[in-house]
Structure 1
């Protein structure tokens, strides 16, 4: 009866879809099968946290992913919160149970050789839009800025004499990113073409022909279209270029703390994920140095 009343609550009070309700019902049935197998005298009101943890372990042993196990635990949490509100149980056995941690996927990045091929050998066209599109790709790769940060750049944010770009990141936190002579020359060439093409004031550093600022979807699509010319990666986005920047920096012996500051990460833990992608470089060093490699 407890299961049935809970599912009715989801159907009529929460307006959940039938598919979701069936999924919740299946999770509760499987959980009941498990704890009855442990002790046939148990029911939903007598289950404790150890039983829930045991079920979680059995699911992992059966090959369920962390995502699937966490979804099933979410069903249990909703169920026991409902029983608490109805005063059917005095405590929630799922409250102190932590689900398995999901494995973070390694960042997807473009190899240095492919980025060089894109920026040095690809024909973007002579017009304003071709020059601008190449400049956007180069800026992403040379600075590691986020999509929103690039769109928000103004002319005043670029200090050519000091070789610095002022970036406004998450929560309006600002940081300075240095740039080299190549980016300086290319940016100046882009601005020259832009100012000749666009009449009137420009809203941002990177603009459309009408002087209006770019929008996210437009930049995303131009990055995807151009990356497709040199790589077959499934994911081809501005964030992939940010990953490529970080990976190239670490492959070329940059300190992790420095890369963290350049990316604008709050925690070093966030930046550490890029150290996994530099294994290819370590392997290359090993093969060159070890006599039996």
Structure 2
């Protein structure tokens, strides 16, 4: 007779009587442990003493292959780990085979990009007060070149070459890259430079400064962009990363050149660009087949 179910029942009673957990929480434990015990019985394992780390990993893999989300797998694995730890304490098993085993990495939700029409709506600012001029310049430059927030606030006057329409930015790992900027961004930079001296001390090197007359902070930029998103009636929350993400998406949709977008974004790994821009493998295959001399298929 299988000893899987009796020990689960005993553990659930322990949770109710000794730990005082709610009926809903106990029900969740019961459901998750029942799922694991069913998988073990399918593997002809009838006792918790037969369970080892390799089998736990296989069950986690099996859940993942069934399409269960990483967060749900993590919850199930936590329930199993707690149950097995209980068995260790009561000397039913000698060690916890689920200890140290992790669920698949949680998926990081990507920010929803802003449509091209919404970008025009955002940047259509008809105000000439100094802070509005500065903010419009920051947003134009960020969308123009797909800058990270840290790259934007780190730009110095010497990094801007308006005649060449270029900007030098310092990215992750202190790696520098030279990026093109749009005519519109050049125009707004010129407008900002005319009034910038009123906002900074002599000798200040930062391109963008705040009312405190020093380099603007990342938090300040975030707050200002959030305000502009509301003021320009965008349908979703605006943040700097969303502008960078939108730049990448729009550039890729227009050009189909994954490598060029990778270079512009400063990604060391092409896979980062793939995930960043919501590309699926089918699209990658199409780009590869069209671009690689040895991959072009005969028709």
One fold, TM greater than 0.5? Answer: yes
Which of 132, 141, 144 is the equivalent residue of 1:142? 144
1:100-139 maps to which residues of 2 (within 5 A)?
A: 100=104, 102=106, 105-119=109-123, 121-123=124-126, 125-139=127-141
Asked if the contact 2:70–2:104 (Cα under 8 Å) also holds between the matched residues in 1, the reply is yes
Could you state the TM-score of these two structures normalised by the residue count of structure 1? 0.71
Choose 52-61 or 212-221, whichever is displaced more.
Answer: 52-61
Show the counterpart of 2:176.
Answer: 174
Say if 1:196 and 1:33 are closer, same or farther in 2 by CA, change over 3 A. Answer: closer
Q: Equivalents in 2 of 1:86, 1:149: separation in Å?
A: 56
Show the counterpart of 1:245.
Answer: 247
Is 1:67 equivalent to 2:71 in the alignment? yes
SS in 1 for 2:73: helix
Could you state the TM-score of these two structures normalised by the residue count of structure 2? 0.70
Unpaired stretches in structure 2, ≥5 consecutive residues: 1-6, 284-299
Which of 97, 118, 142 is the equivalent residue of 1:92? 97
Deviation of the 1:129 alpha carbon: 0.6
Say if 1:174 and 1:28 are closer, same or farther in 2 by CA, change over 3 A. Answer: same
Say if 1:82 and 1:214 are closer, same or farther in 2 by CA, change over 3 A. Answer: farther
**Higher RCO (CA < 8 A, seq sep 6+):** 1
Deviation of the 1:223 alpha carbon: 1.0
Show the counterpart of 2:215.
Answer: 213
Which of 200, 203, 206 is the equivalent residue of 1:204? 206
Say if 1:179 and 1:58 are closer, same or farther in 2 by CA, change over 3 A. Answer: closer
Q: Equivalents in 2 of 1:151, 1:242: separation in Å?
A: 14
Asked if the contact 1:154–1:203 (Cα under 8 Å) also holds between the matched residues in 2, the reply is yes
Aligned residues: 262
Q: Equivalents in 1 of 2:72, 2:263: separation in Å?
A: 35
Deviation of the 1:152 alpha carbon: 1.4
Superposition CA RMSD, Å: 4.1
Say if 1:205 and 1:41 are closer, same or farther in 2 by CA, change over 3 A. Answer: closer
